[in-house]
Amino acid sequence: MSNLSPVKLSPAFKDYLWGGTKLKEKYNKKSDLEIVAESWEMSCHKDGQSVVASGEYSGKTLSEYVEILGKSALGKKAGKFSYFPLLIKFIDAKDNLSIQVHPRDEYALRVEGEYGKTEMWYVLEAEEGAYLYYGFNRDITKEEFAERIKNNTILEVLNKVNVKSGDVFFIDAGTVHAIGAGLMICEIQQNSNTTYRVYDYDRRDKEGNARPLHVEKAIEVSKLTKAPELAKSESDVLASCEYFTVKKAMVNGETTLKIDESSFVSLIIVDGNGTIALGEDKIDVTKGDSIFVPAQNGEIMMNGEMEVIVSSL
């Protein structure tokens, strides 16, 4: 087997209080946790590493696997990042997530010691009436923002968006946002776990404690202007920015995906099943699987009936 073979990854799981059980019931996730709020499908983050689950390096963390292969396996575009640049996860929101914001790189590196967090969401499932918050419904000042957090009226000035399956949301760092109850999402983001909560519905954890808020930091980094109109994707490219490019591939039979030395590729099977092949290496895949393909010149053959989220730098 070549060192540049694609590998299947097993995720790190998170049991945040707002999570549900759909990842175990519908996305083939195996975990002893009662609640699986998130599965970190491709992660080299210290707070949760995905693990190689196929091939001769099975059992190694993704970080260890990349170190074995060398930096060239991440591709030429990865050279501008000081560490593994992306984190991809599934999110099962049985309940509302907190109202939150993520900082940009400059602030996050200076204050938190890691990258900021620009992200995108691809909505896999949306229960009837599901919604999310995306920015503000009008311009506000820092003073009003702080006062509304203090008196629990922040929801009144947030931009509430009804959501359906297949919707795409690009969440630039600095955008106040929240995923609502009844949504299943595939999230592609910068490799960061820095989140500033501004409102959490006065919820309590298992010990009865309120989760901490980060009001001062949130006010410093938030965009306080009215949210822009959401752009609709008219092609297979779901999002493209300086941090990632995300496409959707509908496989009906056999589909060829050209890859090169510019970037590694992540393949997330969000529906269906089939095979992923590169040269003589072939992996059987099904709904919920995550495949990491090192950067190289070649063609990935995808065969079956599948919906695949393809991410690269």
Question: Which residues are the active-site residues?
Answer: 197
Cβ atoms of residues 187 and 121 within 8 Å: yes
Helix (H, G, I), strand (E, B) or coil at 151: coil
Residue count of the chain: 313
CA angle 175, 168, 133 (to 5 degrees): 40
- DSSP sequence for 162-231: E--TT-EEEE-TT--EEEPTTEEEEEEEES----EEEE-TT-B-TTSPBPPP-HHHHHHH---SBPPPPP
Going by C-alpha positions, the residue among 267, 261, 252, 270 that lies closest to residue 300 is 267
Task: Give the N- to C-terminal CA distance of the chain in Å, as an integer.
Answer: 25
